[in-house]
Amino acid sequence: MADHAVFREYLQLLRGLEKTVGQLVELERKKAGAVRANDVQLVDDCIRQEQVLSLSLRGAEQKRAKLLKELGLEHVKLFGLEREAPEELRREAHETACALHRRYEEYQSASDAARTALERVLIQIDQMLAAEQQ
């Protein structure tokens, strides 16, 4: 069975990841709005902020891998976490995993919307350039 203190640290890390992904969700929404408003500076600012958050995610991923190894759970998926948790942490493990999963799905949706908006603008630019060349 997993070490309680290390497992608690792992759950805390996952809660931090959920918060960071939430920040990415907000940035994606902000970026999509900036694209629709043709605010190039705001789009650039959002991209820079995303890069900073991406670096923090890389650091968290390294810590996550270390903690999982320490727990002997390297091959356990997020939703398998509850089964491997100490008895008194199973509910918290379940809730934490579900919250992170929901936030990640929210991020994917916001990211897809921002990407679609950017692609639409790029197509419009492409069409304008093609029209100018004729």
Question: Which residues are CB-neighbours of 45 under 8 A, at least 6 positions away?
Answer: none
Question: Which domains can be identified in the chain, with CATH numbers?
Answer: 4-133 (1.20.58)
CA distances from 114 to 31, 81, 92, 100, 110 (A): 6, 32, 33, 21, 6
Q: Give, for 32, the enclosing helix (H) or strand (E).
A: helix 4-36
Query: How far from chain centre, in Å, is Cα 119?
Result: 21
Q: Is the pLDDT of residue 134 over 80?
A: no
pTM of the model: 0.85
pLDDT digits over 61-120, tens only? 999 999 999 999 999 999 999 999 999 999 999 999 999 999 999 999 999 998 898 888
